[in-house]
Amino acid sequence: MEKRDLLDELNANRVTPEEAEQIYDLYMDNLTAADPPVVEMLGFSKKEWTAHAHGAPFTVIGEWRKCGWPDRCFLCGQRIVSDDYGWFPREDEGKYGLRHIACPKVA
């Protein structure tokens, strides 16, 4: 299977969100042990792949790639450095953001 950048394709409207999911499923179902990791095959960074694994839709991750990642926890308002991990992507009031895994507000 060929390498591609799924989020760039989505951001450029070359694929729809539904097509992006179908492409992801196709790769997940057909990659072999001889192929590079799916992250590499679909052009995801480690951080983007982590966000997807924790439930963020491709459209949200693509928007974050294009416009910048959230830098505040939507629960406590404290700074989140997305490159340092320690966060979950979650939907809050109809919009996705990041929250600390161990948020001080919840503790």
pLDDT per residue, tens digit, the chain (107 aa), is 889 999 999 999 999 999 999 999 999 999 888 999 989 999 999 999 999 999 999 999 999 999 999 999 999 999 999 999 999 999 998 999 999 999 988 75
Domain ranges of the chain: 1-67, 69-107
CA gap 29, 12 in Å, rounded? 25
DSSP strand E in 1-107: where? 87-92, 95-100
